[in-house]
Amino acid sequence: MKEQIQFNNVAIEQSNNVVRLTSQPFGSKLGREGGIFMSEPGQSEIPTGGKQKPVVNRPYKPIEHSQSVPPTPEEKARQLQGAETIQELLGPLGTPEFDRGAKDLAEAAAGTPEQPMVKEKREESKGVVAYNQGEPPFDPTRFTADSRLQEIAEHYREIEFRTFRDPTQRLGLINDLIGRLNNIRDRRGEIVDSEAINQAQELAGNLRAGLREAMDSLARGGEIRTRTDRLRKNIYDKLDIPEGATQGEIKRIITGITPEMRSELANDMKRHIRTLQPSGSQLDPELVDLIIETENYESLEYIINRIISHPLEAETKRYAREFYGGINFSLITESLKGKAEDLRTGIVTGEAEERPSLFLEGLYRKFHTLEAGTEFMHNLNRTVVMGAEREFVGLAPEMIPDHFQVLQRAKHVPAVMRIFDEELQRVMARDSVITAKNYKEVTGTIFDEEGGVTGAIEGSVEKLLRAYNEKLPASERLDEWEIKWAFHTGRNLLNITIRTAELIAHSSGAQIGYKSFPQESIAKIIDQLDLLGERFGVAQEAGGIQLLHMIKANFHREKEHHGWRESGIKTILGKNRKKFEETGILNITGVFSSWRQNNILFLNVPGVNHATDEPQRISIENFLNYNNLKIGDLDAQNVEMVRKLSRLGLNQQMIQELKQEYDKDRKLLRVSPQALRGIFIQENGELRSHFNHSLGALLRLSEVTPDEKDSRSMLDAKRAVRIAIWKKIASDNPLAMASILYGMELDGNEELNNRLKAIGNSMYITKNEMTGEKEDTPLWAKLREKLTVAQEIRMRSIAEGRDMSFDEALTQLQSGTPQAGEGLPPAPVSGEEGLIPAPIEGAPIEKPSEGAKLSAEEVKLLEQIRNVGKRLVGNLAEVRFPSNPIMNDVLFETADYSEAGTEFYKRRTGSDLVSFYEGGGGLTQLISNPGALTLDQAKEILGKVVKSLGDPNGLESAQNDVAPILEGYIDFTREGGPISQGRLGQIVSFAFKEGMLVNGVKRVFRRPTSLAQKYIGPFGSTHNIYEIRNFLDQALQAEILRKGINEEGRITTDLYERFRKKFKVKGFWMFLAFLRDMFPIAAAGFLVKTGEESATTKT
């Protein structure tokens, strides 16, 4: 039965949900590891400065109480409880309990607004409701500084007036009020008046006390209280805490205990709380007090995680906690808040303790941020798997860096993200495409034929996570619910950062046919050309597919033009290598694989801090800047001069002189090819040892990928760096290399192709000859599990600051020995000491139960993968991957999302995703009927594509991406057809096919003069050399193309001049075209004149 009460026309009813924190709190923030950065002691939490909207108070009208004849006890009882008879409330007539209760009710009913009914006290015997007239009444008129506070206070007063047959209804109502108040207090700038802030704090104390009293009354005398009492006695006996000790005395004893005793107490507490079900049953308030009192904050986090993780089981349902989950969450967080206020005001020890108070306040904020982040993450993941991309874009702004930070800190979440990425790449290589069936194999999510989620089973990611968990020391293994928590969180984070959709888009293409596939809505944004254009044959009869193929051919020629070499690889990751690269034509990616990952991901690099040679954590972006690799950020003296003077209309000679001067200065500032090698590579050609993770992200850096501005020596240096990275992957990440090698085929290398086939046959066998379905061989299934566990052992060691090779990780896995040695501690969560207690130094680590030995066959297959991988590093260095090639080596443990900016996720998944959709949509519009477009229409479409892609990726990048599209469109509509590739063919085409005479004759006989007319007839577009020249000029003006010096004075590639040269619209060729076309015109004029003269003579 749902209980509802009306207050001033506002209904409050029992609810499972609480209004949650939805913005970054002030007063504390979260660090890389999810810890707490606190304000300095004494710093006020009241926000100052900035633009703040004043709160406009609505007129407050208190509830009027009747002054007429007071109701009888029976009438008052019915009013308060809704009971059919008074006996239901007070018991049988004539009993002492009834007489005493009726008398109390009669006295309470006679109260007035000036002396309202005071708080009821529930007695333990027989549930009789009595009223203590000695306590001061709760007065809502004290909260007049803000109308919202008045409204909440009035509602609370009405709850206090009312009794409930089901006590949990009272809990739900008070919990809702706490949520409403926290929502107001935690929003920055919501309450700016100091009096209102003080009143909000006082009201929070009243609500906290009401919730605590209601929960305490249910726990008192029950089994949960008895168990808490036993636990408290056990702890007090161990610490020699005397009976009746004050809070201050207990705090001093707790502060002085030894690390060994603290560890023993933590174990006692953990054994107790593991037996609880905090989502489905009530916690004892005194247990929470005991945990806070003994400073066992890890136990609080354990309970909080268990509460908020429970709703994640239902992947496609909106996030909703169970009733007691919400109540217990409020109990813990409000207890922290109350204790923080007690410490700050000196109630505990007699003097104000600012620093411990700030810590508890920070923990309170952290738990709210974790709960809010879990809700937003779950709901975002729901929209991704259900294909609700519009809802996804709408929800994305709710996620802030703090949410990512605390979620990623959960145990094994980074491991899940790495395993998930590798498993997707595995089935992508094995089956060519990621389908609903192999997606279920990986994640356990079951889809129906329509693409809807119908259930879940245990997938390979979860199985591998369990395998890794079993190899940990017994004291570090996760409980069952923690494994689920880690799996759901890691899976969801990879989904909502669009990494999963990236891989699905790169694997699918036209061969997937008309079937639905996982995350189709987001994947189609990443690769619209294949998943919409070629897959459905858009405008095939109108030449759309022909134009699309021309664009792709141009894209591959651009690769060579930029300095990429031929890779010699024919197929990779289950696809034709060229088609695989084509999925990156528009350079559309998720959060990772974009430039933002350079801010998020951190390296351990020595030499950054000149005071020590120890490796220091530094973001990839700062590492590039530190080594002067980010040329665009350098401030050369001539840059500003060139920028200013180029706007004054300088002649070409002066511009060229300035460009030469700038080039000279630029070479001085930019690292040389030798310096680039020195930054990344050792003298023996191997990658420097501190580059031991996130290698797939390094391969995406523009600083190591070819650029057409690079000299040959710089291109060689960049290639050497890429080769060194791939060597490291082959040696220390054979798991990722195995997926890349499976199914690979080379052009013209039979020996290596045979070795690749042998590796593939050892990994998979055909399960169904009809469908071609494959499955792991028993050998590969066992080895793959061991390689996954070894990879996670290695990543864990690196995260803790200890470098470890893959061979060392394998040795540890096979021997079953724990990790040894000390290295850099994890990234600090605060500049302060004494936050969450650190692990006990020197504490013994339990060994895994047994090692995982590799058989001789497994050793042989592993060596084959490594050896063949090392032989192919040069080939792989020339593959233009559309996204991060691998991510199973990313050190998510040290990732810092705040480095990418407060709104980075909102931008990438909100505005950027919309821009990408519009950019791909513009291209789809172009190929839908290219022959029917005018040049003005084409220019408008291409301009929108550049604008859409340029907003997220930068104008220069967008212009580069659109260049092969513009080139393809001009070739498609060019009079005389596409430009021939050979020199002789170009001359013949220019002299005859493009001439006015030949094309004039074709028009007379209604023959096509362009590819466009070949598809849609004589009314299709066809553009001569003069129109193309004007089109290129307009494209330059519209910033679709660019010249060699941009407005900032930075030298770039000259797309404008390149296309003027290709389409022969420069001065010399224009002169030849004039002569070519003048002869038939002159001849025609001569013939006309001769005919006229002949006719005149005859006359």
Residue-wise pLDDT for 84-115, tens only, equals 333 444 444 444 444 444 444 444 433 333 33
Helix axes 734-741 and 413-431, enclosed angle (nearest 10): 20
The string of pLDDT tens digits covering residues 915-961 is: 888 888 888 888 888 989 999 999 999 999 999 999 888 888 899 99
Q: Which long-range contacts (CB under 8 A, 24 or more apart) does 65-73 make?
A: 65/111, 65/112, 65/113, 65/116, 67/112, 70/106, 70/109, 70/110, 71/109, 72/106, 73/102, 73/103, 73/105, 73/106, 73/109
Residue 490 pLDDT greater than 60, yes or no: yes
pLDDT at site 141: 85
Helix axes 778-799 and 856-871, enclosed angle (nearest 10): 70
Higher pLDDT, 337 or 822: 337
Residues 6+ apart with CB under 8 A from 927: 533, 538, 539, 544, 545, 547, 548, 551
Q: Is the sign of the CA dihedral 86, 89, 92, 98 positive or negative?
A: negative
Q: What's the pLDDT band for 540 if we cut at 50, 70, 90?
A: confident
Helix axes 712-732 and 673-680, enclosed angle (nearest 10): 10
The string of pLDDT tens digits covering residues 10-23 is: 333 333 333 232 33
Give first-to-last CA distance, the chain, whole Å.
114
Residue 145 pLDDT greater than 90, yes or no: no
Q: What is the mean pLDDT of the chain?
A: 78
The string of pLDDT tens digits covering residues 669-693 is: 467 888 899 999 999 999 999 999 9
Alpha carbons 496 and 498: distance in angstroms, whole number: 5
User: Residue 286 CB: number of other CB atoms within 10 A?
Assistant: 20
Residues 6+ apart with CB under 8 A from 232: 286, 290
Q: What is the DSSP string of 97-155?
A: HHHHHHHHHHHHHT-BTTBPPPPEEE-SSTT-EEE-TTSPPP-GGG--S-HHHHHHHHH
The answer to which of 182-186, 251-255, 660-664 has the lowest mean pLDDT is 660-664
pLDDT at site 249: 85
pLDDT at site 658: 56
pLDDT at site 841: 32
pLDDT at site 608: 63
Q: What's the pLDDT band for 1086 if we cut at 50, 70, 90?
A: low
CA distances from 726 to 548, 686, 873 (A): 32, 10, 5
The string of pLDDT tens digits covering residues 811-859 is: 999 887 544 333 333 333 333 222 233 333 333 333 444 567 899 999 9
Phi, psi of 546 (to 5 degrees): -60, -45
Higher pLDDT, 626 or 389: 389
The answer to which of 24-28, 269-273, 457-461 has the lowest mean pLDDT is 24-28
Q: What's the pLDDT band for 538 if we cut at 50, 70, 90?
A: low
Residues 6+ apart with CB under 8 A from 766: 772, 773, 774
Q: 466, 787 in Cβ contact below 8 A?
A: no
pLDDT at site 616: 80
Alpha carbons 538 and 552: distance in angstroms, whole number: 15
Residue 1029 pLDDT greater than 80, yes or no: yes
Q: What's the pLDDT band for 607 if we cut at 50, 70, 90?
A: low
Alpha carbons 669 and 997: distance in angstroms, whole number: 55
Residue 640 pLDDT greater than 50, yes or no: no
Q: Which of 734, 764, 771 shows the shortest CA–CA distance to 868?
A: 734
pLDDT at site 214: 86
Residue 1084 pLDDT greater than 90, yes or no: no
Percent of the chain having pLDDT more than 90? 34
Residue 283 pLDDT greater than 60, yes or no: yes
Q: 44, 25 in Cβ contact below 8 A?
A: no
Residue 520 pLDDT greater than 70, yes or no: yes
Residue 865 pLDDT greater than 90, yes or no: yes
Chain centroid to Cα 294, Å, comes to 36
**Which SS3 state, helix, strand or coil, does residue 38 take?**
strand
Q: Which of 682, 694, 771, 765 shows the shortest CA–CA distance to 729?
A: 694
Average pLDDT over residues 477-481: 91
Within 13 Å, how many C-alpha atoms sit on residue 865's CB side?
Answer: 29
Q: 363, 36 in Cβ contact below 8 A?
A: yes
Higher pLDDT, 80 or 873: 873
Residue 429 pLDDT greater than 60, yes or no: yes
Residue 329 pLDDT greater than 70, yes or no: yes
pLDDT at site 17: 34
The residue assigned the tokens 């920070």 is 362
Average pLDDT over residues 445-465: 88
Chain centroid to Cα 1061, Å, comes to 44
pLDDT at site 630: 58
Residue 167 pLDDT greater than 80, yes or no: no
Within 13 Å, how many C-alpha atoms sit on residue 816's CB side?
Answer: 10
Residue 246 pLDDT greater than 50, yes or no: yes
Higher pLDDT, 408 or 910: 408
Structure tokens at 815: 């021997």
Higher pLDDT, 63 or 283: 283
Higher pLDDT, 824 or 750: 750
pLDDT at site 4: 38
Residue 56 pLDDT greater than 70, yes or no: no
User: Residue 967 CB: number of other CB atoms within 10 A?
Assistant: 24
Q: Is the sign of the CA dihedral 886, 891, 893, 898 positive or negative?
A: negative
| Range of 402-406, 631-635, 859-863, 985-989 with top mean pLDDT | 859-863
Structure tokens at 987: 């001359």
Alpha carbons 18 and 181: distance in angstroms, whole number: 10
What angle (nearest 5°) sits at the alpha carbon of residue 59, between those of residues 56 and 60? 120
pLDDT at site 938: 94
Q: Model pTM?
A: 0.79
The answer to which of 163-167, 278-282, 590-594 has the lowest mean pLDDT is 163-167
Residue 50 pLDDT greater than 80, yes or no: no
pLDDT at site 136: 57
Q: 696, 886 in Cβ contact below 8 A?
A: yes
The answer to which of 125-129, 144-148, 257-261, 978-982 has the lowest mean pLDDT is 125-129
User: Residue 44 CB: number of other CB atoms within 10 A?
Assistant: 11
Write the single-letter amino acid at 1032.
L
How do beta strands 773-776 and 764-768 pair? Answer: antiparallel
pLDDT at site 1038: 93
Residues 6+ apart with CB under 8 A from 165: 81, 82, 83, 88
Alpha carbons 102 and 521: distance in angstroms, whole number: 65
Structure tokens at 398: 């709710």
Phi, psi of 64 (to 5 degrees): -85, 135
Phi, psi of 448 (to 5 degrees): -90, -175
SS (H, E, C) 434-454: CCHHHHHHHHCEEECCCCCEE
Higher pLDDT, 976 or 788: 788
Percent of the chain having pLDDT more than 70? 74
CA distances from 375 to 18, 222, 371, 661 (A): 12, 33, 6, 56
Structure tokens at 579: 């088609």
Phi, psi of 849 (to 5 degrees): -65, -35
Average pLDDT over residues 1036-1064: 78
Q: What's the pLDDT band for 457 if we cut at 50, 70, 90?
A: very high
**Which SS3 state, helix, strand or coil, does residue 603 take?**
strand
